[in-house]
Structure 1
Amino acid sequence: MGTAFIILIVFGVFIFLSSFFTVKQQTSVIVERFGKFTSVRNSGLQLKIPIIDRIAGRVNLKIQQLDVLIETQTKDNVFIKMKVSVQFKVIQEHVYEAFYKLEYPHDQITAYVFDVVRAEVPKLILDDVFVRKDDIAIAVKRELNEAMTTYGYDIINTLVTDIDPDIQVKNAMNRINAAEREKTAAMFESEAQRIRIVAKAKAEAESKKLQGQGIADQRREIARGLVESVEVLNNVGINSQEASALIVITQHYDTLQAIGADTNSNLILLPNSPQAASDMLNSMVTSFSASNIIGEEMKRQPKKVKKTNNSDINYNPSDTSEPTETAQ
């Protein structure tokens, strides 16, 4: 009698305790009675009829991620491996559909991802696959939403996280990119060289221009100085020929002095004897005098006659007036 009572108490406690169960946060519990759906229980302490009711399953309401690895072919016949990450969750109001209508949701999502990717990628060449990967992800999400909403699943986001072409294709792409960058670098280097050459030519031209202006100004000032020197010498009774010769001799001695002042100079000015200045002065005075005599003789020469159309033309080289004709 005592043992049976104890057994009864233990059984009663077991029945009592089995009437309560807890549900975690972001989880829903499916309760069945004799194998038939009864209710969906959410987080917290829940009560059920012992032995009659049972927990058929638990549904995770958190956002889940499924990574799908797909091998497909592009329009330009390049095989690539593409990784698509799908983020999804069960809609809390559709826990019944998610639990009873779809047994293997991961397999179903994977099948749809394969179908969409292998329909979209063959339309694109390899370069466009990298550029338009977001468009592929949007197409996958749109197709999954249309298919999985019926089963109580919401597709949060789809991401193309990796595009991996064949190793030989990657090596070829790297060589193409390297060659393209070398070509661009060569173009920039050529342009820089051209700019340097043009700038150097402009600088040289400007330098030559300024140098020419400086030489012209220097010669102009030298000429003005010579004119003033001749005028000063003429005022003291020295004629122009003697003044010019004296100026040349002075410049000769100035040059000798400048050469002697430079200790590192190896220039030799010829002639450079003590009589050189005197000889130079005499030669210049003689040449100036001879040139004056020749000029006077040319002025005293008779007028030449030039025949044109049976008429004589009196022509004097030193006469600037119009020639006159004399009839024969």
Structure 2
Amino acid sequence: MFYVFLTITILALLFVFMTVKVVPQQTAYVVERLGKFYAVLQPGINFIIPFFDRVAYRHSLKEAALDIPEQICITRDNVQVRVDGVIFIQVVDPQKASYGIADYRFAVSQLSQTTMRSEIGKIELDKTFEERMTINRAVVQSIDEAAISWGVKVLRYEIKNITPPQTVLNAMEKQMQAEREKRAVILQSEGEKQSAINLAEGQKQKVVLESEGIRLRQINEAAGEAEAIITVADATAESIRKVAEAIQQRGGMDAVQLRVAEQLVDQFGKLARTNNTLILPANFGDMASIISSAMTVVKHQEQVK
């Protein structure tokens, strides 16, 4: 009796185990009934009929990353490069992922490789490094169109490495070195050019400043000479005015006659000392007449004034 009870208990537990299916979060179970698709079990507790229903496929609905093996691609300019990458996919329809294709992971990997070879063949080697984003988008678009019937969504594709042959790497290194040397020469020439411009500009400013200094000096000298001439003229005019005022005083004319006689005698004395030949006026003996003539001139100037 005990063994019968134990057997029934074990069968009941086995029946419950086969009937109840607990589906984890972000997971989908595909159930077949008598070999035909029946339903997709959602996360949580689900019940099936033992011996009639079975879980045929289990799919993770999480985003998955597939490594794309390295492959040899030929660029537009006939250069072989090695390219590898990684693709991110997600199952969006468990039924199609189960029955639309035998192995969607393998299919996505193979399609990624063929699409990559096709896209690399459209561009030249120099642009393969610049066009990474374009290549990535092209691969995603191409695979996503084919993966619709597989129940798989291609999220993104990323190129990991692009490795040209060693000879090409050496040539690229030489090219980069030549470019750096070219830029260095250009920068040096630009620096020399700017230096020459600065020197010429400085020399120009120097000449301008020197000419400005000479002009200002000449202006100052001319102004000083003009002021000196004006000062001398003013002094001469003042002295003449004072002499004229003195002449107008009582006894002024007598003083002038005496001064003229002194100047006349003095000048004739100098002529006698400096020259061997002395020319004298005809009436030199009549000194009074000579002085009278000089005074006539003085009076005439006074009348004119």
TM-score for the superposition, normalised by structure 2: 0.68
Deviation (angstroms), 1:147 = 1.4
Partners of 1:138 and 1:226 lie apart in 2 by 89
Matched AA of 1:165: P
Shift of the 96–224 alpha-carbon distance from structure 1 to 2, 3 Å rule, reads closer
Shift of the 197–32 alpha-carbon distance from structure 1 to 2, 3 Å rule, reads same
Q: Is 1:73 equivalent to 2:89 in the alignment?
A: no
Partners of 1:229 and 1:62 lie apart in 2 by 107
Matched AA of 1:59: H
Equivalence for 1:87: 88
Partners of 1:223 and 1:131 lie apart in 2 by 75
Note the 1:163-202 alignment, pairs <5 A.
Answer: 163-202=162-201
Q: Is 1:218 equivalent to 2:217 in the alignment?
A: yes
Secondary structure at the counterpart of residue 54 of structure 1: strand
Partners of 1:40 and 1:232 lie apart in 2 by 123
Note the 1:111-190 alignment, pairs <5 A.
Answer: 111-190=110-189
Deviation (angstroms), 1:230 = 8.2
Deviation (angstroms), 1:228 = 6.7
Q: Which structure has the bigger radius of gyration?
A: 2
Matched AA of 2:201: K
Count the aligned residue pairs: 235
Shift of the 217–152 alpha-carbon distance from structure 1 to 2, 3 Å rule, reads closer
Partners of 1:132 and 1:88 lie apart in 2 by 22
Deviation (angstroms), 1:220 = 5.3
Bigger shift: residues 164-173 or 23-32: 164-173
Equivalence for 1:308: none
Equivalence for 2:292: none
Bigger shift: residues 212-221 or 132-141: 212-221
Partners of 1:100 and 1:236 lie apart in 2 by 129
Note the 1:147-296 alignment, pairs <5 A.
Answer: 147-219=146-218, 221-222=220-221, 225=224
Shift of the 99–222 alpha-carbon distance from structure 1 to 2, 3 Å rule, reads same
Shift of the 224–30 alpha-carbon distance from structure 1 to 2, 3 Å rule, reads closer
Equivalence for 2:256: none
The RMSD of aligned alpha carbons is 2.7
Bigger shift: residues 182-191 or 145-154: 182-191
Equivalence for 1:5: 5
Shift of the 122–234 alpha-carbon distance from structure 1 to 2, 3 Å rule, reads same
Partners of 1:224 and 1:135 lie apart in 2 by 81
Equivalence for 1:48: 48
Matched AA of 1:167: Q
Deviation (angstroms), 1:148 = 1.3
Q: Is 1:21 equivalent to 2:21 in the alignment?
A: yes
User: Which has the bigger relative contact order, CA under 8 A and spacing at least 6?
Assistant: 2
Deviation (angstroms), 1:99 = 0.9
Deviations 1:132-189 (A, max 9, x none): 2222222212221221111211212223343222233233223312321331232122
Deviations 1:69-122 (A, max 9, x none): 33211122222122232221112xx32221123222122112211221222212
Secondary structure at the counterpart of residue 18 of structure 1: helix
Where does structure 1 lack aligned partners over 5 or more consecutive residues? 238-328
Shift of the 14–230 alpha-carbon distance from structure 1 to 2, 3 Å rule, reads closer
Shift of the 235–129 alpha-carbon distance from structure 1 to 2, 3 Å rule, reads closer
Deviation (angstroms), 1:196 = 1.8
Deviations 1:5-62 (A, max 9, x none): 3222222232223321200111111222343332211110011122332222211111
Shift of the 15–215 alpha-carbon distance from structure 1 to 2, 3 Å rule, reads same
Equivalence for 2:105: 106
Partners of 2:234 and 2:133 lie apart in 1 by 101
Q: Is 1:30 equivalent to 2:30 in the alignment?
A: yes
Partners of 1:58 and 1:227 lie apart in 2 by 116
Deviations 1:225-247 (A, max 9, x none): 5677689889999xxxxxxxxxx
Shift of the 111–216 alpha-carbon distance from structure 1 to 2, 3 Å rule, reads same
Secondary structure at the counterpart of residue 131 of structure 1: coil
Deviation (angstroms), 1:131 = 2.3
Partners of 2:2 and 2:218 lie apart in 1 by 144
Where does structure 2 lack aligned partners over 5 or more consecutive residues? 237-305
Partners of 2:214 and 2:193 lie apart in 1 by 31
